[in-house]
Amino acid sequence: MPVIVADIGGTHTRFGFWENGSLDLCEKLKTADFKSIPESIAVYQERHGLQGIKKFAFATAANPWADGTWHFTNLADRSFSIDDIKRAGFSVLAAEDDFSATTAGCLSLSPQDKSILSIKAAAGRAGDPKIVLGPGTGLGMGYGLPNKDGSFRVQKAYGGHMLFTPLTDTHIEISRSVQKERNLQRPVVFEDIACGSSFPALYRACCSIAGTKPSDNFLDDPTDPAFVMASDIFHEALGLFAHLCVVAIHGFGGVMMNGGFLDALIERQLWQKDKFLQGFHQKGVPIVAEDILNTPISIVTDTYISLIGVGRMIDA
């Protein structure tokens, strides 16, 4: 069944063509360049000769309001609904949250897939759940629960809204500084520390601690002491978050990660594998520490993995 699949975000909308279990004709368009989602779909169709395809499925990061419309925080004047898409002549097969789609896509990959970059090779534990983390604009997380046939089903979660767990005096100081910097009227959560949208505030908090002046181009100066501190804390916190997610559900089948901010760090050669693993390999109860040590970790580099997930979910 030929279907146009999309991942609709406030910054970009990713499109692809799904047929017979395969994804093709992928393209990323700026959401703000179009007056509506149906208009962007039409442009994608025209560019790829898909005007005759009238089945559509999508994932989106936004949450629908009570009236069934989705709104984006960075596009205050923009919204869309399933009815909008139906009025444009499409049959809508699925509307998923974006990280459930990303989780489904990652879990569908074979271990030999070229988009899988191993961070830590380990045997893992066959039959145990897997964890998918998304350090992007936010911090997504989903569980892969094993089926009897060896496949996985998606269990979505609140992910990065888990309370941050400081383990050192530095962590405590950073947590308090971030809370003050962002004027938070609640406890700090992992998403306040370990995602792209929170990193500038984390950096400014580190500037406050280090007594330095914040730079507008901090990603371009990896020697900046406050940036070094922020980067160390980010990677340690992400590793600790992964540790807690694994232990919470006995998810020793493995950890997979995919996210735009993670991609940016890798591209700029700012990804700190050692700091991440330092956060992940906590020396807690011995039996747990041993299982953590034997848990494989990988990064999925396919920027269209959520579209594969949407396709898999409508085929299920």
211-263 per-position pLDDT tens digit: 999 988 888 888 899 999 999 999 999 999 999 999 999 999 999 999 999 99
Mean pLDDT of 51-78: 86
Mean pLDDT across 267-289: 95
Instruction: Decide if pLDDT at 54 tops 90.
Output: yes
- Res 288 pLDDT > 70: yes
User: What's the order of all strands across the beta sheet hosting 12-19?
Assistant: 22-30, 12-19, 3-8, 55-60, 91-97
The Cα 78–Cα 66 span in angstroms is 16
Percent of the chain with pLDDT over 70: 100
Q: Is the pLDDT of residue 299 over 90?
A: yes
Average of pLDDT values for 77-91? Answer: 92
H-state helical runs in 8-152:
37-48, 82-87, 98-107
Domains, the chain, with CATH or none: 3-101+305-315 (3.30.420.40), 116-300 (3.40.367.20)
Q: How confident is the model at residue 62 (pLDDT cuts 50, 70, 90)?
A: low
Other CB atoms within 10 Å distance of the CB of residue 24: 9
Mean pLDDT across the chain, nearest whole number? 94
- pLDDT for 53: 97
Query: Nearest Cα to 116, choosing from 108, 125, 128, 127?
Result: 108
User: Measured on CA atoms in the order 69, 82, 104, 6, is the torsion positive or negative?
Assistant: negative
Identify the pLDDT of residue 63. Answer: 72
Cβ-count burial 49-86 (b if 16+ within 10 Å, e if not): ebeebeebbbbbbbebeeeeebebeeeeebbbbbebbe
CB 192 within 8 A of CB 180: no
Q: Return the minimum-mean-pLDDT range out of 30-34, 45-49, 62-66.
A: 62-66
Q: Per-residue pLDDT for 91 more than 80?
A: yes
Nearest alpha-carbon partner for 271 in 217, 243, 301, 234: 234
